[in-house]
Structure formats: structure tokens, C-alpha cells
Chains A and B, each alone.
Chain A
Amino acid sequence: MANSPAKATLSLSLAYATSEITRLHDAVETFLRSFVPPEKPLMHFLLALEEIAANAIHYGNAAESEAVISVEVHYSEDAISCEVVDSGAPFNPFSEATVPDLTSSLEERQVGGLGIHIAKKVLDDYSYRNEAGRNHTTLVKRLGLGS
């Protein structure tokens, strides 16, 4: 195996279309697997990233044809982190998303807010800020022991 660099970054731009989720998953997984990370934190990170990106695509400003969602993924030996920047209406997914229903029967089960709930559960750290009219959502998954 070649020596892994201490740090590396992958930058992507996504259109506001659900089909972009496949391209995002493939590109980020290929990038991260080149560093041979442990499987479980890798899967957790990919899952959280999809949930955040899908949210941005779903609620984003699709009316602006030029608009894109920018995704920057950082790999280091300690952690995988990422920032998702979109131009949708200001929305903090970690505090404003619907609180999901996790206990009702199947007949009554609703799925709103489930994706954000999953992202919060599998991440080690997450944050949100609105800057210059854009949503900046940051995700962190640590790669150390116990993650």
C-alpha cells in the first residue's frame, strides 16, 4: 500500500436533483476508500452525507438553474469531515428538522425528520451556520479507536 497523505480534500458541485446522490456517493466513497479507512465509520459518514445532501436537494433553491450545492470532503488520519454549502432558504437541520416518530405502530409511522435523526446518530460532531445567505453544514466522523 502506498503511503497515505496526512490530509486530502475532494471538492464536488451537485445540481439540485436526486440523481446526484449516486454521483456523490460514488465519488466520495472512491476518494475515501483510497485511504483504506475502517468500514464502519466510512459507512456512517456516507450515510450522514447522503441525508444532509438529500435534504439540501429537496428543500433547496431549484428555481435558480445556476445554483449548485458545493461539497468539500476532508480526509485525515483522525477523521473524515465535510462541509455542504447550499443556497436554499436558511435552515438548520440539526435544530429545525421535524423530530421523528420512532415509537408508533407501523400504521401510524411517519418518516419526516428521519434522515436528520440518522445523520445525528452516526456522526461524532456536526454544526450549522448561515453565512452570506448560504447554509453551511459541517459533518465530522472520527476514525480513531472506538468510533
Chain B
Amino acid sequence: MSLSETNSGGVAITAINGRLDGATSAEYEIRILDLLQDGRKAMVLDLAGVDYLSSAGIRVLILVFKKAAALKLPLAIARPQASVAEVLSIAGLDDILVAQPSIEAAIQAVGG
């Protein structure tokens, strides 16, 4: 697992890489929540590098979105692979965590 962050016009772009599953979710949860609470004004979670998502990973995404809402911090997800998008759809999340097709679209979605 790995997490890397770049910045585009004040929007933090956080790239998650590897599996977002029951073994990695606890650490991703801590690290992403830390980033959210560290003064960023908007964030994009780039899922292009996530090749596998299970319910444990979905739980992290929901927690992160709830925390962002509590902080009034605009947050979007971008570029999920087809298999990851399918799991989000099975979980009934494709309507409420709308995935942006590109980083540019996601930056626009969070007002960057």
C-alpha cells in the first residue's frame, strides 16, 4: 500500500495505490483522516492506482467522506478502475460518491 500527495491550485490530490482491503484499510483510514484534518481546503482521492476494493475499503471511503462533510471540506474521488467502480455500484455508492473521470474534472468538482 502507499499514499502520495500532490497539490494543484490549493487542492490536495491524494493518490491511493494497491489494495484497499481488510488488511490495509485501518492504516489508510488513519493516514487519510490525518491529511483531511491538516488544513487542506479541498481534496481529490485519486483511485487510479487502486486495483482492488473490498467492503473494508468502502468503509474507509464512507468514513473519509463523513469526516470531510463534518469539516466542510470539498472531497471527490477520481478515476476508479472498472473493477473498483463495480464494487462501489454493488454497495449502492455510485450515486452518492460520484466518481470523476479525470483529475481535472475532480478538481473542478471540489471547486478548485
Chain A: residues with CB nearer than 8 A to chain B? 18-22, 25, 40, 43, 46-47, 50-51, 54, 57, 100, 102-103, 105-107, 109, 111, 114-115, 117-118, 121-122
Contact = CB atoms under 8 A, between A and B. Distances in A.
A21 B19 CA distance: 11
B23 A21 contact: yes
B83 interface: yes
Contacts of B69: 106-107
Interface residues of B, number: 23
B92 A102 contact: yes
A106 B96 contact: yes
A1 to B, nearest CB: 23
B66 A47 contact: no
Contacts, number: 69
Main secondary structure of the interface of A (DSSP, over half): helix
B21 interface: yes
Contacts of B90: 117-118, 121-122
A21 B27 CA distance: 14
A54 B97 contact: no
Nearest to A57: B22
A25 B91 contact: no
A21 B21 CA distance: 8
A72 B89 CA distance: 29
B22 A105 contact: no
A13 B65 CA distance: 36
Given A105-B96, A111-B62, A50 B91 contact: no
